[in-house]
Amino acid sequence: MTKNGFTFTTIHSADKLTSGVWNPYNYKYCEEESLPPFSEFADIKKVNGKKGELKYFNYAPIEYKHIPKGDILTFNLEEKPDSKSKFSFVEENTLLFGTMRAYLGNACVTPYGNWINQAEGIKYAINSEFVKINPFDNLKYFWWAYIKSYSFLKEMPTGSGGTRPRVSPELISEIRVNVPNEKERNSINQTLKEIAQSSWMNYIKGKKILNNLQREYAG
């Protein structure tokens, strides 16, 4: 079966088929698959539940457009507009993964408040379709790097929904992963986290300088 430019073939016996389930990706992995599923390393859930008015947040809701292409640890924190709309939200240090056209790898980790001159416990509004990935080892930055990698994204199902296909948390959970041991993951995570902190602090410094210039020299 071809999806996103890749082809896979899986052979299952008839008793392994589920009545009414037509998506071939549900049958990609057979029981003999040696690699563990992502669900053994993390809990994946939709961002939903309680919502808050935009006035209670410091920035505009996070959307895919705010996440840059490539391996960049920051994303754009946009000034919030005047709005009474309500949005779902997440905490600081939350790993988010976009489920619409998920094979594009829209992933980010929300920064700690003290990295961006904000209060501890800052919350971020969300305005795109994300899932929260909660790694059992709590190594958010290692897993951020992994879920943006070619080896992970090439396993990503296209999803359903016509021209705007979405992937369910259940299908993401079933993706087979090949990762180093926890000691090595921890080392990678620590390095990336330190880079992320420095990057966010520089981002805020640069943003402040640019905002001051715009205010001072606006025509």
pLDDT, averaged per 10 consecutive residues of the chain (219 residues), comes to 50 58 53 82 93 95 96 95 93 97 94 97 96 98 97 84 80 94 98 98 94 78
pLDDT of residue 129: 93
Bridge-based pairing of strands 123-126 and 107-109 is: unpaired
pLDDT of residue 1: 38
pLDDT of residue 113: 98
d(Cα 186, Cα 200) in Å, to the nearest integer? 21
Token representation of residue 45: 């859930």
pLDDT in tens, 52-64: 999 999 999 999 9
d(Cα 77, Cα 63) in Å, to the nearest integer? 10
Say how far residue 76 (Cα) sits from the centre of its chain: 14
pLDDT of residue 49: 82
What's 142's DSSP letter? Answer: H
Closest CA to 24 of 32, 36, 39, 12: 12
Paired strand residues for 97: 107, 131
Burial of 130 (0-12, 13-18, 19+ CB in 10 A): buried
What domains are defined for the chain? 35-217 (3.90.220.20)
Residue 159, SS3 per DSSP: coil
User: How many CB atoms neighbour CB 135 within 10 A?
Assistant: 20
The H or E element spanning position 45 is strand 42-46
pLDDT of residue 212: 87
pTM (2 d.p.): 0.84
d(Cα 158, Cα 6) in Å, to the nearest integer? 11
pLDDT of residue 190: 98
pLDDT of residue 158: 72
Q: Max alpha carbon distance in the chain (Å)? A: 71
pLDDT of residue 32: 52
